[in-house]
Amino acid sequence: MESEIRHKGFVKTVSTGKLIVTIINQSACSTCHAQGACSVSDFQDKEIEINEFKGSYQPGQEVTIIFRESKGFTALFWGYILPFLVVLITLIVTLEITGNELKAGLISLGVLIPYYTTLYFLRHHLKKIFKFEVEETI
* Distance between first and last Cα of the chain: 23
Domain count, the chain: 1
What is the pLDDT at residue 121? Answer: 95
Question: Which has the minimum average pLDDT: 31-35, 87-91, 100-104?
Answer: 31-35
Edge-to-edge, what's the strand order for the sheet holding 62-68? 43-50, 18-26, 4-15, 62-68, 133-136
| Per-residue pLDDT reduced to its tens digit, 40-82 | 555 667 888 887 778 788 888 888 888 777 777 888 899 999 9
**What's the domain range around 107?**
4-136
Q: How many helices (H) and strands (E) does the chain have?
A: 5, 5
What is the pLDDT at residue 86? Answer: 96
Our CA angle for 105, 111, 113, nearest 5°, is 120
Average pLDDT, whole number, for the chain?
82
